[in-house]
Amino acid sequence: MPAITVSHLVKSFSLAVRQPEQGRLRNFFKPEKEIVTAVDDISFTVPEGEAVAFIGPNGAGKSTTIKMLTGILYPTSGNMTVAGLHPYKNRRELAFRIGTLFGQRSQLVPNLPVRDSFELFGAIYELSPATVRRRQKELIGLFDLAEFVDRPVRKLSLGQRMRAEIAVALIHKPEIIFLDEPTIGLDIVAKKSLREVLGRINREEGVTLFLTSHDVGDIEALCTRTMVVNHGRIVVDESTDALKHDYFAHRPVKMVAVEPSLEEIIQDIYGAKK
Amino acid sequence: MGAKRIKNKRSFVSGLIAEFTVARIIWLTNFRAAMEFRTAFMLQIVGMMINDCAFLALWILFFQVMGSVNGWSGTQIFALLGMNLMCYGFTFGFAGGSLWLPRYVEQGTFDGFLLSPRNLYVRTMTSRFDLAGLGDALLGVILIIAYAVITGSALSLVWFAAMLPATMLIFLSVSVVAGTAAFYLPDSNHTVMAVFKVFMNPTMYPSALFPKVARFIFVVLIPSLTVGGLPVEAVMGHSWLTLGLVWLIALLWLLISIAAFYGSVRRYESGNFIGLRG
């Protein structure tokens, strides 16, 4: 069974548009309405265990698509299933089976230590206290949280918080993880470590990843397939390797640098400081 | 693979118990978070109690000057204010999320509740608690006990206890219905609070002050009197009819609020609020 199927999915929003020539009163009482189609008749299938990038410019419809797939938004038309469930009709059942990370939002309890968020989310997902303890231990190891797991979330750095965010989002062992800009605002080292862990979860546990990001490094490191979306439509859907070869104006040339790259130098410095 | 804990085969009652078990854990977590700032916590509680006492003193002075009004005197004000404060304090002390609904919708943080595997209504309402509400509730309990002592009627405590859950349901339901305006109106925080105050302000006045038409309006259309005046009348007259009426209105408003909430959620448009200053 595919992890995700989407068929002719459409999402439109109605916006009040101010008409300067109409006058303020008319604009106030009888505003003109404009229909904006954020997602325009998209269809695709994602097999179980695949890591897919869903990329495009700002306003292309990436986040709207993820929000429909996770049951946040109700589609205007079209069909979709995630883990065999309809995201909006079976919202609660689906929530037990997916994990989400929205880079610009936090779901941790800001004034309490990270450990308390593990316990809270364990209770929300109805895990037994023993299971919560076991998963907490696994995730603390996997995401290297031991150093700050007992510190209040508000005192964490952005990188530490993002690692904690994703660790907490995985407490219930989701089958599919939706990531919307997971590395936004992170430094090179934090990005690398987050990508490594996500890659490992995808390879070793067969978890399906559905990722949106503006960072090409995320896509190259994690995703075998890339869909490019623009103006609400999928304009490219192929393997990440093929995309690089087909759409770059110049062929990539592999080089082995004698001198270390700037990224490696920075990583060395950070590593030394650590 | 995956936590396939699909709970759709539960009975209604066991489902409800599961929701309230989780709600209790969320509440305790929120309470622990509030305890991180103990001084602010205590100040809010004490501040709210002082504010309520000033209001009580005002009414007692009023009745000292005016004498009794249609059978109401300072003693009934103890009961009215006590009932109101308990109702407000316990409702928003445990389920303050309805007052935050406009902010959740405006800032897009309502996403988090839609991603949660919990009952959306219960999860949203129990997501916050009003610290000052606990101060209200505490003073409310003291005033109701004071009323029972003054009137020498321990039975009145049982009557108040029988009515409290119904009045809390009304308070919660009306705040939810007002809060759903957030799904229809942009920047609705002030509008929602203004609408809610239309309901809340008359709850603090003796029902004897309302003429017949106003009484009808504030019982049937805007159920303000059902959380203050009517419960006190029921206790004064040991009226089973009034008790039944308050419960009937409570259940009706609960159904209305659930229908309004789920009907409105479909209009939710989410968003990526960054916090621009206008």
> Is A184 a residue whose pLDDT tops 70?
yes
List the single residue in A with minimal CA-CA distance to B21: A123
> Is A113 a residue whose pLDDT tops 80?
yes
- Residues A109 and A179: their CA atoms lie apart, in Å, by 20
The 10s digit of each residue's pLDDT in B74-92 is 888 889 999 999 999 999 9
Strand partners, A34: A15
What total number of domains does chain B contain? 1
> Is A274 a residue whose pLDDT tops 70?
no
Vertex B188: Cα angle to B180 and A24 (nearest 5) = 130
Contacts of residue B21 in chain A, CB cutoff 8 Å? 123
Vertex A67: Cα angle to A64 and A73 (nearest 5) = 90
Query: Which of helix, strand or coil describes residue B128?
Result: coil
Residue B169: its pLDDT value, please? Answer: 95
CB contact under 8 A, A174 and B2: yes
Domain membership flag for residue B278: no
- Residues B41 and B52: their CA atoms lie apart, in Å, by 17
**Structure token pair of residue B251:** 């259940």
Contacts of residue B112 in chain A, CB cutoff 8 Å? 105, 107
Query: Which of helix, strand or coil describes residue B32?
Result: helix
Phi/psi of residue A33, nearest 5 degrees = -105, 140
pLDDT band, residue B156 (cuts 50/70/90): very high
Residue B24: its pLDDT value, please? Answer: 92
Evaluate whether A55 touches A229 at the Cβ level (below 8 Å): yes
**Structure token pair of residue B25:** 């854990």
pLDDT band, residue A46 (cuts 50/70/90): very high
Tell me the mean pLDDT in the region A180-200: 85
3-class SS letters over chain A: CCCEEEEEEEEEEEEEECCHHHCHHHHHHCCEEEEEEEEEEEEEEECCCCEEEEECCCCCCHHHHHHHHCCCCCCCEEEEEECCECCCCCHHHHHCCEEEEECCCCCCCCCCEHHHHHHHHHHHCCCCHHHHHHHHHHHHHHCCCCCCCCCEHHHCCHHHHHHHHHHHHCCCCCCEEEEECCCCCCCHHHHHHHHHHHHHHHHHHCCEEEEECCCHHHHHHHCCEEEEEECCEEEEEEEHHHHHHHHCCCCCCCCCCCCCCHHHHHHHHHHHHC
Residue B4: its pLDDT value, please? Answer: 47
Place of tokens 């109605």: A14
Place of tokens 């006190």: B232
Domain-wise residue ranges, chain A:
4-97+174-273
**Structure token pair of residue B266:** 């479909």
Alpha-carbon gap: A120 to the closest alpha carbon of chain B (Å): 7
Q: Give the residue, B5 or B51, on which the prediction is more confident.
A: B51
Residue B14: its pLDDT value, please? Answer: 87
Residue B44: domain span: 20-265
Evaluate whether A96 touches B22 at the Cβ level (below 8 Å): no
Q: Give the residue, B48 or A238, on which the prediction is more confident.
A: A238
The 10s digit of each residue's pLDDT in B255-277 is 999 999 999 998 898 876 554 44
Tell me the mean pLDDT in the region B109-116: 92
What's chain A's average pLDDT?
88
Alpha-carbon gap: A217 to the closest alpha carbon of chain B (Å): 23
> Is B99 a residue whose pLDDT tops 50?
yes
The residue type found at B30 is N
Query: Which of helix, strand or coil describes residue A13?
Result: strand
pLDDT band, residue B3 (cuts 50/70/90): very low
pLDDT-wise least confident of A31-40, A157-166, A262-271: A262-271
Residue B276: its pLDDT value, please? Answer: 46
Best of A67, A88, A106 to disrupt the B interface by mutation (most B CBs within 10 Å)? A67
> Is B105 a residue whose pLDDT tops 80?
yes
**Cβ-Cβ contacts under 8 Å for A242 (sequence gap 6 or more):** none
% of chain A at pLDDT higher than 70: 94
CB contact under 8 A, A67 and B118: no
CB contact under 8 A, B269 and A13: yes
**Which of the 8 DSSP states describes residue A170?**
T
Domain membership flag for residue B9: no
Please count the helices (runs of H) and the strands (runs of E) in chain A.
10, 9
pLDDT band, residue B2 (cuts 50/70/90): very low
- Residues B22 and A121: their CA atoms lie apart, in Å, by 10
pLDDT-wise least confident of A142-146, B100-104, B129-133, B189-193: B129-133
Quick one: CA dihedral B170, B176, B180, B185, positive or negative?
positive
Tell me the mean pLDDT in the region B210-215: 88
Nearest alpha carbon to residue A73 among B269, B150, B143: B269
- Residues B120 and A43: their CA atoms lie apart, in Å, by 29
Alpha-carbon gap: A123 to the closest alpha carbon of chain B (Å): 6
Helix H or strand E encompassing A199: helix A188-205
Tell me the mean pLDDT in the region A98-104: 85
Nearest alpha carbon to residue B111 among B276, B277, B278, B269: B269
CB contact under 8 A, A72 and B114: yes
**Cβ-Cβ contacts under 8 Å for A127 (sequence gap 6 or more):** A135, A171, A172, B3
**Structure token pair of residue B126:** 């129990």
pLDDT band, residue B1 (cuts 50/70/90): very low
Distances (CA, A) of A119 to A134, A137, A157, A250, B20: 11, 12, 21, 51, 16
- Residues A212 and A52: their CA atoms lie apart, in Å, by 9
Residue A14: its pLDDT value, please? Answer: 82
pLDDT band, residue A252 (cuts 50/70/90): low
Evaluate whether B232 touches B163 at the Cβ level (below 8 Å): no
ipTM surpasses cut 0.90: no
- Residues B195 and B125: their CA atoms lie apart, in Å, by 18
Candidates A72, A109, A116; nearest CB to B115? A72
Contacts of residue B114 in chain A, CB cutoff 8 Å? 70-72, 91
Reply yes or no on domain A4-97+174-273 having CATH 3.40.50.300: yes
pLDDT band, residue B243 (cuts 50/70/90): very high
Evaluate whether B225 touches B215 at the Cβ level (below 8 Å): yes
Residue A143: its pLDDT value, please? Answer: 87
**Which of the 8 DSSP states describes residue A209?**
E
Domain membership flag for residue B127: yes
CB contact under 8 A, B36 and A96: no
Quick one: CA dihedral B105, B111, B113, B118, positive or negative?
positive
